[in-house]
A and B are shown apart, each in its own frame.
Chain A
Amino acid sequence: MDFLRPASWEEALAAKAEHPTAVPIAGGTDVMVEINFDHRRPEYLLDLTRIGELYEWEIGEETVRLGASVPYTRIMEDLRPELPGLALASHTVASPQIRNRGGVGGNLGTASPAGDAHPALLAAGAEVEAESVRGSRLIPIDDFYTGVKRNALAPDELIRAVHIKKADGPQQYSKVGTRNAMVIAVCAFGLALHPSSRTVRTGIGSAAPTPVRAKTAEEFLNAALDEGGFWDNGKIITPSVAKRFADLCAAACNPIDDVRGTASYRRHAVGVMARRTLMWTWESYRGTAARTEGVA
């Protein structure tokens, strides 16, 4: 196994172009597990830890450009106002040691359906900034996950950053694991209210071959909220609407039975989490709406 250590982003892109099978490694929290368990033996490891800009972020007008290697700890501590859903998801990642090393770039590169960041990214709305010697492009998060542990990156591309929409409303994230900390998701759910566009977005983890949005559920809820004038009147969401939303979220799952949980439980749990996160975010939105009533 050759260990490539580019000193700059340009060198990294060149190395990846020259060795398209090279596996990028930053925090190593996924890749090293795979290597230690001998699940894979990459020909080349491409070490990205010397590239400082991958550990930086920029807060723009509409989005946060989050460097691929920004550790989860920084997201939790420094980006909570802008990225509340992702900050909550970051809290559920493994242990403090792992959160100090791992970042969203690794989650995206591995593209495991169990990656903790995915539901939060899907719910918030994001684009993956992929780059190669051929140039740079932005891949919408909805198009990024292409199969079990597969993504839309070309063999010569590296993830430079993720552009995540700054929160314009409440966001929530829940994850079920059979332990109260340090656990891989049995399933996970992210939900973001987007009052500026009067839409709701969702993200489901570990309950389908890829992270997915519950689009039918979103459409149902968007319509129901619109119809009742909820965005303006800030009324309580009726239990029947919440239940229908939860059922549609559960129906968006395509889970498997495995050692971590049954398909039936995953579907059930996604429904419960969908209903609860909807209630939490909506209550929070109503509070905000009430406070800003005069402005609207």
Chain B
Amino acid sequence: MGTTGLPTNITQGSRTKGGIGESTLRPDGTLKVTGEFAYSSDMWHEDMLWGQILRSPVAHAEIVSIDTAEALATPGVYAVMTYDDLPTEVRNYGLEIQDTPVLAHGKVRHHGEPVAIVAADHPETARRAAAKIKVEYKELPVITDEASATAPDAVLIHEGRTDLPQSQLRSTGGTPTIGHVPHPNILHRQPIIRGDVSAGRERADVIVEGEYVFGMQDQAFLGPESGLAVPAEDGGVDLYIATQWLHSDLRQIAPVLGLPEDKVRMTLSGVGGAFGGREDLSMQIHACLLALRTGKPVKIVYNRFESFFGHVHRHPAKLYYEHGATKDGKLTHLKARIVLDGGAYASASPAVVGNAASLGAGPYVIDDVDIEALALYTNNPPCGAMRGFGAVQACFAYEAQMDKLAAKLGMDPVEFRQINAMEQGTALPTGQIVDSPAPVAELLRRVKAMPLPPEQQWLTAGEAADVRQLPGGLSNTTHGEGVVRGIGYAVGIKNVGFSEGFDDYSTARVRMEVVGGEPVATVHTAMAEVGQGGITVHAQIARTELGVTHVTINPADTQVGSAGSTSASRQTYVTGGAVKHSCELVREKVLEIGRRKFGSYHPAWATAELLLEGGKVVTDGGEVLADLVDVLGDEAVEVEEEWRHRPTEPFDLRTGQGFGHVQYSFAAHRAVVEVDTELGMVKVVELACAQDVGKALNPLSVLGQIQGGTTQGLGIAVMEEIVVDPKTAKVRNPSFTDYLIPTILDTPTIPVDVLELADDHAPYGLRGVGEAPTLSSTPAVLAAIRNATGLELNRTPVRPEHLTGTE
């Protein structure tokens, strides 16, 4: 079943080149590396205007007045719009709860909230005009944490809430109620209760408790939010946009514009990364509003500073964990409380809560579990989707707990985890039986078995130390003094796909015809290619299923059905599954044509299992029956079909029981760090990863996902954090000067060991890859730093202050 190391050039018996299992190269790769790729910010249109957003300088305030006169009078300005200028009664949007005003109405709830928009003939004119808009604010007290959110006199962030997340509307038959939360400033709450924690506690020989703090991480995608809205003659608008899910945007945009969805035509433009940060709308509605108001194309491009205010971040969290174990190392119980800060608007918070709760126990067998996860409404920046989505925060806490338990029991931390590791057939705390491979113990075994990197790699033949190999790097802070090595392990569990009863489908239109004397397949989906390599995989699937060499991937747009979101590690599974499904239907039609035309020439047309390979119709024995060119002739075969994975169900509101997730993915890391214990500087020397991917459709892309996820996890371990002032709820570091992400010198070697244990429920047995490595990377680094320093370290990211007692 499994293979060791990274498989390459597996052809699955297909004689068609470039099919699944091969590391075909991405068409956008060279263009991106050489700077020639056209991103959404590069678009240009004759006569276009530039849009600019005026944002709130304060976190919580009543808007007393807005005076746009001076801005409007600025030469070159075509339009200034505020809430009062919105064209319909639909003035809010949101992924699950429509609580986000298109433009602030009477109140701003977070630093950087959009208040007004301007269109002008030059970006600088637009910027200056926006600065001339006079907004009078009357500041309100800020709510920044659970205590201030639920205090008896707390101001309600959203007064008169009647919302309920979609998943729960379904489970309550659509009755709006906020009875599932104990306070209107609590956005969402999900308990998971299984067994009896007090009984588990009785059985425990040791109990460990911990309080953990997880900082606010930014997706830090390289291409800031941008797009171009072009008004059309039919009164509609064409929007060229970088997003993660065209149809979700469309569903939110069209009602605000007062247009039917078919008059808002969206086309994906070059996306410079996403990581969850483009699931929510940013400038989409603003650009369309200005384009429709002025009758001219409007382009909006955020700069980096604005980008930090223009998208949601990863939820910061406080996590309280209590675990027990018997003296022979079996986990007895878990009691956990996970408090996520959702910020001012809901975004994806309900689903993030669902993940944190349902995956809060980690990949372990624990019978008695009581978990409560909740998200707060505060005046902090809104938080939502980011790679790992609720599971990341929980993994940081439960993995720290595993190390504490192992230490208390005097056991090896890997062995302790292996004793408790879940496997296929394990019932999770949600009651869901995991019905595909769950090689948790094996992944740990593999990372532990990898050779360790040599000690003291900074020593050179000459006198001088190679400072690049040391904490501090070229800053030359140590030549080996104070440097201590540490090793740490972690493993995590992430769901794949949309959960909790969501109708998670995708659509693929596949066409096959003869072009220039060759059979060609065309694949058209609305899948957002955000850098994950989906378009490469779609071409591979089409080649494998249809036996063609040439595959054309049409641009993603809303002229085809929804593909769902490029998130939740789901696109290869779901849109890949849709492409496979539509290809299979095309193949059937092609074979029907073949039977009609050539059936009488060879009995195998009627009797044998037929395949399309290498441009020909062949029997499963390999006998060629016809050339596809001859079968198709002048005919074109086209299919557009939706495809769904098996359904999930919502978690019970009270107990959290339910078949909530369609698939799980697992990764384990071993981190090797060197810490300058005097200066508190950390060098991550190596992050070894083992991950089960079910089936590597494109092994090179799989490697890229694992390395990228691992590095993003390293970032939140040692440097990445949006710092919000607790007194004002204002962001203190909205730039790459002070929001640090790892450079290549901070990125360690990342040896990767890929397992391929097929999930029989999934197309080709594949397992979503993108997020799992982001989970375990962070706690592995933290464990290694704890191992080096002996410090408890209950928060991430770790700063030099935490390692030197100088907070």
| Chain A residues close to B by CB (< 8 Å) | 33, 36-38, 88, 91-92, 172-184, 186, 259-262, 264-265, 267-269, 272-273, 276, 280
Contact with A along B469-505 (1 / 0, CB 8 A): 0011111111101100000000000000000000000
Name which residue of chain A comes closest to B733, CB basis.
A259
Q: Which B residues are in CB contact (< 8 Å) with A265?
A: 680, 800-801, 804, 806-807
Q: Which B residues are in CB contact (< 8 Å) with A259?
A: 723, 732-733, 738
Complex: how many Å from CA A174 to CA B718? 20
Q: How far is the CB of B338 from chain A (nearest CB, A)?
A: 27
Whether A172 pairs with B476 at a CB distance below 8 angstroms is yes
Q: How far is the CB of B115 from chain A (nearest CB, A)?
A: 18
Whether B740 pairs with A88 at a CB distance below 8 angstroms is no
Q: How far is the CB of B713 from chain A (nearest CB, A)?
A: 16
Contact with A along B769-807 (1 / 0, CB 8 A): 000000000000000000000000000000111001011
Name which residue of chain A comes closest to B723, CB basis.
A259
Picked from B472, B718, B719, B801, the residue with its CB within 8 Å of the CB of A264 is: B801
Contact with A along B530-564 (1 / 0, CB 8 A): 00000000000000000000000000000000000
Interface residues of B in 6-35 (CB under 8 A from A): none
Q: Which B residues are in CB contact (< 8 Å) with A260?
A: 738
Listed A/B pairs (6) with beta-carbon separation below 8 Å = A176-B475, A180-B473, A181-B745, A260-B738, A261-B799, A276-B479
Picked from B127, B472, B479, the residue with its CB within 8 Å of the CB of A176 is: B472
Whether B474 pairs with A269 at a CB distance below 8 angstroms is no
Q: How far is the CB of A264 from chain B (nearest CB, A)?
A: 4
Whether B471 pairs with A179 at a CB distance below 8 angstroms is no
Picked from A88, A181, A268, A280, the residue with its CB within 8 Å of the CB of B806 is: A268
Q: How far is the CB of B143 from chain A (nearest CB, A)?
A: 22
Complex: how many Å from CA A177 to CA B472? 7
Whether A175 pairs with B804 at a CB distance below 8 angstroms is no
Indicate whether A36 sits within 8 Å of B801 (C-beta atoms), given known contacts A92-B474, A175-B477, A264-B806: no
Q: Which B residues are in CB contact (< 8 Å) with A276?
A: 477-479, 481
Q: Which B residues are in CB contact (< 8 Å) with A91?
A: 474, 476
Picked from A92, A178, A272, the residue with its CB within 8 Å of the CB of B476 is: A92
- Name the residue in B475, B481, B737, B746 with the highest tally of chain A Cβ atoms < 10 Å from its Cβ: B475
Complex: how many Å from CA A244 to CA B664? 58
Complex: how many Å from CA A174 to CA B804? 18
Complex: how many Å from CA A33 to CA B472? 25
Name which residue of chain A comes closest to B744, CB basis.
A181
Q: How far is the CB of B112 from chain A (nearest CB, A)?
A: 15
Is B669 positioned at the interface, with any CB of A under 8 Å from its CB? Answer: no
Is B303 positioned at the interface, with any CB of A under 8 Å from its CB? Answer: yes
Secondary structure call for the A interface: mixed
Contact with A along B735-755 (1 / 0, CB 8 A): 101101011011000000000
Complex: how many Å from CA A254 to CA B287? 48
Interface size class of B (residues with CB under 8 A): 35 or more
Name which residue of chain B comes closest to A1, CB basis.
B124
Whether B735 pairs with A37 at a CB distance below 8 angstroms is yes
Whether B732 pairs with A176 at a CB distance below 8 angstroms is no
Q: Which A residues are in CB contact (< 8 Å) with B196?
A: none
Is B679 positioned at the interface, with any CB of A under 8 Å from its CB? Answer: yes
Is B305 positioned at the interface, with any CB of A under 8 Å from its CB? Answer: yes
Given A180-B473, A180-B746, A265-B807, 5 other A-B residues pairs in contact with their CB atoms under 8 A: A174-B472, A261-B801, A265-B800, A268-B806, A276-B479
Indicate whether A184 sits within 8 Å of B738 (C-beta atoms), given known contacts A259-B732, A265-B806, A276-B477: yes
Name which residue of chain A comes closest to B477, CB basis.
A174
Complex: how many Å from CA A186 to CA B737? 12
Picked from B477, B479, B733, B740, the residue with its CB within 8 Å of the CB of A179 is: B740
Is B387 positioned at the interface, with any CB of A under 8 Å from its CB? Answer: no
Q: Which A residues are in CB contact (< 8 Å) with B800?
A: 176, 178, 186, 261, 265, 269
Whether B479 pairs with A280 at a CB distance below 8 angstroms is yes
Whether B475 pairs with A177 at a CB distance below 8 angstroms is yes
Interface residues of B in 432-481 (CB under 8 A from A): 468, 471-479, 481
Whether A273 pairs with B477 at a CB distance below 8 angstroms is yes
Complex: how many Å from CA A91 to CA B745? 14
- Name the residue in A92, A172, A184, A267 with the highest tally of chain B Cβ atoms < 10 Å from its Cβ: A92
Whether B678 pairs with A180 at a CB distance below 8 angstroms is no
Q: How far is the CB of A274 from chain B (nearest CB, A)?
A: 12
Q: Which B residues are in CB contact (< 8 Å) with A36?
A: 303
The 3 A-B pairs with the shortest beta carbon distances in the complex, nearest first, are: A180-B473, A265-B806, A264-B806
Is B97 positioned at the interface, with any CB of A under 8 Å from its CB? Answer: no
Whether A183 pairs with B475 at a CB distance below 8 angstroms is yes
Q: How far is the CB of B671 from chain A (nearest CB, A)?
A: 16
Q: Which B residues are in CB contact (< 8 Å) with A181?
A: 473-475, 743, 745-746
Q: How far is the CB of A278 from chain B (nearest CB, A)?
A: 12
Q: Which B residues are in CB contact (< 8 Å) with A173?
A: 476
Q: How far is the CB of A124 from chain B (nearest CB, A)?
A: 16
Q: Which B residues are in CB contact (< 8 Å) with A175?
A: 475-477
Is B683 positioned at the interface, with any CB of A under 8 Å from its CB? Answer: yes
Is B72 positioned at the interface, with any CB of A under 8 Å from its CB? Answer: no
Q: Which B residues are in CB contact (< 8 Å) with A33?
A: 737
Whether A92 pairs with B475 at a CB distance below 8 angstroms is yes
Complex: how many Å from CA A186 to CA B678? 15
Indicate whether A262 sits within 8 Å of B806 (C-beta atoms), given known contacts A92-B474, A180-B473, A181-B743: yes
Is B681 positioned at the interface, with any CB of A under 8 Å from its CB? Answer: yes
Q: Which B residues are in CB contact (< 8 Å) with A272?
A: 482, 678-679
Complex: how many Å from CA A178 to CA B721? 12
Whether B681 pairs with A176 at a CB distance below 8 angstroms is yes
Name which residue of chain B comes closest to A88, CB basis.
B476
Q: Which A residues are in CB contact (< 8 Å) with B804?
A: 265, 268-269
Picked from A88, A178, A273, the residue with its CB within 8 Å of the CB of B799 is: A178
Q: How far is the CB of B198 from chain A (nearest CB, A)?
A: 42
Q: How far is the CB of A189 from chain B (nearest CB, A)?
A: 9
Whether A37 pairs with B305 at a CB distance below 8 angstroms is yes
Interface residues of B in 111-147 (CB under 8 A from A): 127
Name which residue of chain A comes closest to B807, CB basis.
A262
Picked from B305, B475, B479, the residue with its CB within 8 Å of the CB of A180 is: B475
Complex: how many Å from CA A3 to CA B482? 51
Complex: how many Å from CA A182 to CA B683? 15
Name which residue of chain B comes closest to A175, CB basis.
B475
Q: How far is the CB of A176 from chain B (nearest CB, A)?
A: 6
Complex: how many Å from CA A273 to CA B481? 11
Q: How far is the CB of B802 from chain A (nearest CB, A)?
A: 10
Complex: how many Å from CA A267 to CA B478? 17
Interface residues of B in 668-710 (CB under 8 A from A): 678-681, 683
Q: How far is the CB of B190 from chain A (nearest CB, A)?
A: 34
Complex: how many Å from CA A174 to CA B473? 10
Q: Which A residues are in CB contact (< 8 Å) with B799?
A: 178, 261
Indicate whether A178 sits within 8 Å of B678 (C-beta atoms), given known contacts A36-B303, A265-B804, A268-B806: no
Complex: how many Å from CA A90 to CA B741? 22
Whether B305 pairs with A174 at a CB distance below 8 angstroms is no
Complex: how many Å from CA A55 to CA B147? 59
Indicate whether A180 sits within 8 Å of B743 (C-beta atoms), given known contacts A262-B801, A264-B801: yes
Name which residue of chain A comes closest to B736, CB basis.
A182
- Name the residue in A33, A37, A181 with the highest tally of chain B Cβ atoms < 10 Å from its Cβ: A181
Q: How far is the CB of B534 from chain A (nearest CB, A)?
A: 31
Whether A180 pairs with B740 at a CB distance below 8 angstroms is no
Complex: how many Å from CA A43 to CA B233? 44
Q: How far is the CB of A248 from chain B (nearest CB, A)?
A: 18
Q: Which A residues are in CB contact (< 8 Å) with B733?
A: 259
Q: Which B residues are in CB contact (< 8 Å) with A280?
A: 479
Q: How far is the CB of B381 from chain A (nearest CB, A)?
A: 15
Complex: how many Å from CA A88 to CA B479? 14
Name which residue of chain B comes closest to A280, CB basis.
B479
Indicate whether A178 sits within 8 Å of B475 (C-beta atoms), given known contacts A265-B801, A265-B804: no
Name which residue of chain B comes closest to A36, CB basis.
B303
Q: How far is the CB of B806 from chain A (nearest CB, A)?
A: 4
Q: How far is the CB of A67 from chain B (nearest CB, A)?
A: 24
Q: How far is the CB of B684 from chain A (nearest CB, A)?
A: 9
Name which residue of chain B comes closest to A185, CB basis.
B475
Indicate whether A179 sits within 8 Å of B678 (C-beta atoms), given known contacts A91-B474, A276-B478: no
